[in-house]
Amino acid sequence: MPTTVWTERRRLRSLRDRGPRRERVQMRLVVDLNRCQGFAQCVFLAPDVFSLHGGEALLFSPRFDEAQQDRVEKAAAACPVQAILVDYSDEPTKGVKPHVG
């Protein structure tokens, strides 16, 4: 499982990014909802990021910040079908317009 490697890299990134002029670090997230079975482990572990909508439809926030990082990592690790993919790369996408809105 690449989880350990991933966690180290993520930690490194958050430390590095914590400079004074940086805005708050935002991380990206997607859930493979074909795999997701609505077991809701993630909802218990990171309720600010994951929620159930009705009986078993999962809604997630595709972006979360550092304050949620540990919880999201735990949720991703706990998901019984490994449906949660968290950002693995902080490579810049050259040529992209900055965020608006």
Partner 1 sequence: MSADTDVEVLRRQGRIVVVGASLAGLRAAETLRDQGFTGSLTMIGDEPYEPYDRPPLSKQALLGRARPEDTALPRRRDIDAEWRLGVAAAGLDRDAKLVRLANGDTVPYDRLLIATGTRARPWFHPEEAALDGVFVLRTRDDSARLHRKLAGAVSRVLVIGAGFTGSEVASACRELGLDVTVAERGPAPLVGALGGVIGAVADRLQRKKGVDLRCGISVTALEGDEVGRLRRAHLSDGSAIDVDVAVVSLGAMRNTEWLAGSGVAAGPRGIACDAGCRVFDVNGIVTDDIYAAGDVARSPHPLFDYQFLALEHWGNAVEQAEIAAHNMICAGPDRRPHLWLPMFWSSQFGVNIKSVGVPSLGDQLVVAQGALAEERFVAVYGYRGRVIAAASFDGAKWLGFYEQQIAAGAPFPPEYRTVDRRTETLHPIDPAFPDPHLPTHGATVTLTGHSPSERRVAFVPAHA
Footprint of partner 1 (CB under 8 A): 26-30, 32-34, 36-38, 53-63, 85-89, 91, 93-97, 99-101
Chain-centroid distance, C-alpha 82:
13
| Contact status: 77 vs ligand SF4 (CB under 6 A) | no
Which x/- pattern, by CB under 6 A, does the window 27-66 give for ligand SF4?
A: ----x----xxxxxxx-------x-------x--------
> Which helix (H) or strand (E) covers residue 30, if one does?
strand 26-31
For residue 24, what are its two tokens? Answer: 């708050």
Q: Please give the torsion angle defined by the CA atoms of residues 56, 57, 63 and 69, in that order, rounded to the nearest 10 degrees.
A: 10
Q: Which residues bind ligand SF4 (CB under 6 A)?
A: 31, 36-42, 50, 58, 79, 81, 83-84
